[in-house]
């Protein structure tokens, strides 16, 4: 009896032990599956988060490169240094795209490097802003200098114009005029006659007016006589029949005379010994390159 009881008990104990092991194994499998699911989800989340962070880093670096190109275009003086930083950005971009270690520490490392690049970028931007301010100051100073120069130029031009005007007034004021112009017929004894048929020559009389502004000294005076038809009356004598300079041209004269003008009234007489005929006659008197007097008469 005792032996049969022992035989019946052992298989039952073994059966319960096997069932317990099976339960434990099943539980372990469930736990392992759960852990695998959790790990898979975490891995997916980490991969997704890494890809998001990586894309953000890549976008930041691409924008950083655009900013560098803009700054390089704005100021060529620091273009070489900026090109070095752009090369660093290109290398960092390639490294991020090929990165296989998808951890937060890796992301933080790249974020730190990008932050360093941006700090360098801000430094160059501040330099460019400073240069820009200096350039604007120089431009403003140049504009002010040019304005002042223009103002000085205007004043100088006005002064020159005024000086020229005053010079012209002085020149006009210093001109000597011939007044009291008179044409007289003379016979062979230098007595006045009234008819051409009795005249041997004629004399043009006038007075050089006094002028305190006029230059004193020797002068040459030309007279030009024109008959009623407008022809210039000339002779072949030493003091007649030549030409003189007037306003850039050479014109004929009838006679001339040299005088010594002292600034006071000076009576002058100039003779013409050529042919004469009845009719109107006109005389112009020249001195110092200008007409200083005129007169008309009628010969009978």
| pLDDT tens column, 132-170 | 676 677 777 778 787 877 777 777 777 677 666 655 555
Listing DSSP states for 271-295 in one string gives EE-S---SEEEEEEEEETTEEEEEE
* Selected residue with higher pLDDT from 25 and 218: 218
Q: What is the pLDDT of residues 55-64, one digit of tens each?
A: 777 777 777 6
CATH 2.20.100 fits 178-299, yes or no: no
Residues shown for the chain: 300
What pTM does this model have?
0.47
Q: How far apart are CA 224 and CA 237, in angstroms?
A: 15
Please state, in angstroms and rounded to a whole number, the distance separating the CA atoms of residues 156 and 160.
6
Spatial separation of the C-alpha atoms in residues 255 and 270, rounded to whole Å: 7
All structural domains of the chain with their residue ranges:
2-126, 178-299
pLDDT value, residue 2 = 47
Note the pLDDT of residue 49.
65
Exposure on the CB side of residue 126, measured as CA atoms within 13 A? 6
By the 8 A CB rule, do 203 and 181 touch? no
Give the number of other CB atoms < 10 A from CB of residue 110. 21
Question: What is the reported pLDDT for 84?
Answer: 75
How much is the mean pLDDT over the chain? 79
In the DSSP assignment, the letter for residue 177 is P
Task: Say which DSSP state 236 is in.
Answer: S
pLDDT, tens digit, for every residue of 89-131? Answer: 788 777 777 776 666 677 777 777 777 777 776 776 676 666 6
Q: Is the pLDDT of residue 196 over 60?
A: yes
User: Residue 185, Cα to own-chain centre: how many angstroms?
Assistant: 71
C-alpha span between 139 and 231 (Å, rounded):
69
Higher pLDDT, 204 or 168: 204
Half-sphere exposure of 257 (CA within 13 A, CB side): 17
Residues forming a β-bridge with 221: 257
- pLDDT at position 1: 46
Q: How many CB atoms lie within 10 A of CB 106?
A: 16
């Amino acid at each position: 009896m005792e032996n049969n009881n022992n035989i019946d008990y052992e298989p039952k104990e073994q059966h319960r032990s096997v069932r317990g092991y099976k339960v434990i194994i099943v539980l372990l499998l469930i736990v392992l599956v759960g852990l695998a699911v959790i790990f898979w989800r975490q891995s997916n989340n980490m991969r997704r988060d890494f890809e998001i962070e990586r894309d953000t880093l890549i976008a930041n670096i691409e924008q950083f490169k655009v900013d560098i190109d803009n700054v390089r275009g704005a100021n060529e003086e620091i273009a070489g240094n900026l090109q070095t930083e752009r090369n660093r950005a290109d290398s960092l971009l390639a490294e991020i795209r090929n990165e296989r270690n998808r951890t937060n520490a890796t992301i933080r490392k790249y974020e730190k490097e990008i932050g360093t690049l941006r700090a360098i970028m801000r430094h160059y931007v501040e330099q460019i802003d400073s240069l820009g301010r200096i350039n604007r100051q120089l431009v403003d100073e140049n504009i002010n200098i040019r304005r002042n120069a223009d103002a000085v130029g205007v004043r100088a031009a006005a002064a020159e114009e005024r000086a020229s005007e005053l010079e012209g007034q002085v020149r006009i004021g210093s001109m000597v005029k011939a007044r009291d112009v008179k044409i007289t017929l003379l016979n062979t004894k230098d007595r006045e006659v009234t008819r051409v048929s009795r005249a041997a020559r004629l004399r043009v009389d006038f007075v050089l007016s006094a002028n305190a502004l006029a230059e004193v000294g020797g002068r040459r005076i030309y007279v030009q006589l024109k008959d009623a038809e407008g022809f210039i009356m000339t002779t072949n004598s030493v003091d007649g029949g030549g030409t003189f300079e007037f306003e850039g041209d050479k014109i004929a004269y009838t006679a001339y005379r040299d005088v010594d003008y002292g600034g006071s009234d000076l009576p002058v007489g100039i003779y013409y010994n050529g042919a004469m005929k009845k009719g109107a006659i006109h005389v112009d008197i020249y001195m110092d390159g200008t007409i200083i007097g005129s007169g008309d008469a009628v010969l009978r």
